[in-house]
């Protein structure tokens, strides 16, 4: 009899070449070294290590670059969407090669401005139109000291799994999962008091965490060690030793103007989430 397929995170390899090259200060590519050092010094950029052995650098919720090591060419490659370069919005290109011969610091400033213009702040300063990605990025930056990961994902069609949790925190050695939603999100409420989509989402996440907490803990212990070795782990973060199996729903109240219909919506959401025993908080600030 065939053994049942299990959830695994064993593809993450702490000995992968990308991590050794990232840590090295003598890669032989001056442009890459300048790019890396500039982004490491930027407090508005946060880094995530992925289970398939690549590294993402994020700015205001946008994937500023997806970094991997090309074994064939023996070089780092950093994929970026061309729309962030002010060019075509249909393709990706290698940021390292694109920066070659240019002033890295000046070009990165332009890229960040482009990200704000076409992605994170395309609606200007209107808080009510902030995207979920921008809200998530601000949440991570405000809670940087305890955020170990973002966009935790696990997809397996054989197991009928499609998990994607916004933020993972590590507080006093305990891994905690956080899903972020806007108060005005359509998934937060139906016309009736029937349970909305977000309730099923949180309950599915909770079941996944409970069913796989040992594998998840082992994964985050390995990820913690990698980020610590690379110098991209928040200062003072303790090594994970346990998992909180109850995910938190963080609801951002983006509304500036008060209105009875908005107040009623908020009250109905709170009532339903309490009825469904969902752990949640509602905040208008980070």
| Model confidence pLDDT, tens digit, residues 200-259 | 999 999 999 999 999 999 999 999 999 999 999 999 999 999 999 999 999 999 999 989
- Give the list of residues 6+ apart from residue 146 with CB closer than 8 angstroms, or none: 169, 170, 171, 234, 237
pLDDT (average), residues 85-104? 93
The pLDDT assigned to 171 comes to 98
pLDDT at 152: 96
pLDDT in tens, 133-178: 999 999 999 999 999 999 999 988 888 889 999 999 999 999 999 9
d(CA 26, CA 14) in angstroms, rounded, equals 20
Cα distances (angstroms) measured from residue 54 to each of 62, 146, 164, 179, 215:
16, 21, 17, 23, 20
Average pLDDT over residues 75-87: 95
Q: Among 2-11, 46-55, 161-170, name the one with the lowest average pLDDT.
A: 2-11
Taking residues 187-196, report their average pLDDT: 94
Q: What's the pLDDT band for 4 if we cut at 50, 70, 90?
A: low
Question: Mean of the per-residue pLDDT values for the chain?
Answer: 93
Which pLDDT does position 129 carry in this prediction? 86
Say what the pLDDT of residue 12 is: 96
Strand order in the sheet with 55-59: 45-49, 55-59, 62-70, 75-81, 92-94
pLDDT for 5: 67
Q: Report residue 2's pLDDT band, with 50, 70 and 90 as the boundaries.
A: very low
Structural tokens at position 55: 């590294």
DSSP state at residue 120: I
Q: Percent of the chain scored above 90 by pLDDT?
A: 84
| 236-267: burial string, b at 16+ Cβ within 10 Å, e else | ebeebeebebebbbbbbebbeeeeeeeeebbe
Q: What is the pTM of this model?
A: 0.94
* 263: phi then psi, degrees, rounded to nearest 5: -60, -40
Determine how many CB atoms are found less than 10 A away from the CB of residue 277.
10
Q: Read off the pLDDT band of 74 (50, 70, 90).
A: very high
Structure tokens at 2: 């065939």
How sure is the predictor about 123, in pLDDT bands with cuts at 50, 70 and 90? confident
Q: 137: closest CA among 124, 119, 123, 154? A: 119
Of 80-94, 103-117, 221-235, minimum mean pLDDT range: 80-94
Extract long-range pairs of 63-68: CB within 8 Å, 24+ residues apart: 64/39, 64/111, 64/112, 64/115, 65/95, 67/18, 67/22, 68/18
């Amino acid at each position: 009899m065939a053994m049942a397929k299990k959830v695994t995170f064993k593809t993450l390899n702490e000995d992968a070449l990308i991590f050794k090259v990232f840590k090295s200060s003598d890669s032989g590519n001056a442009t890459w070294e300048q790019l890396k050092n500039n982004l490491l010094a930027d407090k508005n950029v946060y880094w995530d290590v992925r289970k398939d052995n690549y590294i993402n650098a994020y700015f205001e919720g946008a994937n500023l670059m997806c970094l991997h090591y090309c074994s064939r060419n023996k070089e780092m490659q950093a994929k970026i969407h061309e729309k962030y370069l002010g060019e075509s919005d249909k393709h990706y290109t290698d940021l390292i090669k694109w920066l070659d011969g240019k002033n890295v610091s000046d070009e990165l400033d332009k890229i960040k401005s482009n990200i704000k213009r076409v992605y994170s702040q395309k609606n200007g300063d209107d808080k009510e139109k902030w995207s979920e990605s921008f809200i998530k990025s601000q949440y991570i930056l405000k809670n940087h000291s305890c955020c170990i990961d973002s966009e935790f994902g696990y997809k397996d069609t054989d197991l009928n799994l499609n998990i994607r949790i916004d933020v993972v925190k590590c507080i006093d050695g305990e891994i905690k999962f956080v899903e972020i939603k806007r108060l005005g999100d359509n998934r937060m409420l139906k016309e009736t008091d029937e349970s909305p989509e977000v309730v099923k989402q949180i309950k599915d996440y909770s079941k996944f965490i409970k069913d796989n907490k040992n594998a998840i803990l082992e994964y985050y212990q390995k990820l913690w060690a990698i980020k610590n070795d690379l110098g991209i782990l928040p200062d003072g973060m303790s090594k994970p030793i346990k998992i909180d199996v109850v995910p938190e729903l963080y609801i951002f109240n983006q509304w500036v103007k008060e209105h009875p219909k908005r107040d009623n919506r908020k009250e109905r959401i709170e009532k339903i989430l309490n009825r469904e025993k969902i752990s949640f908080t509602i905040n208008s600030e980070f």
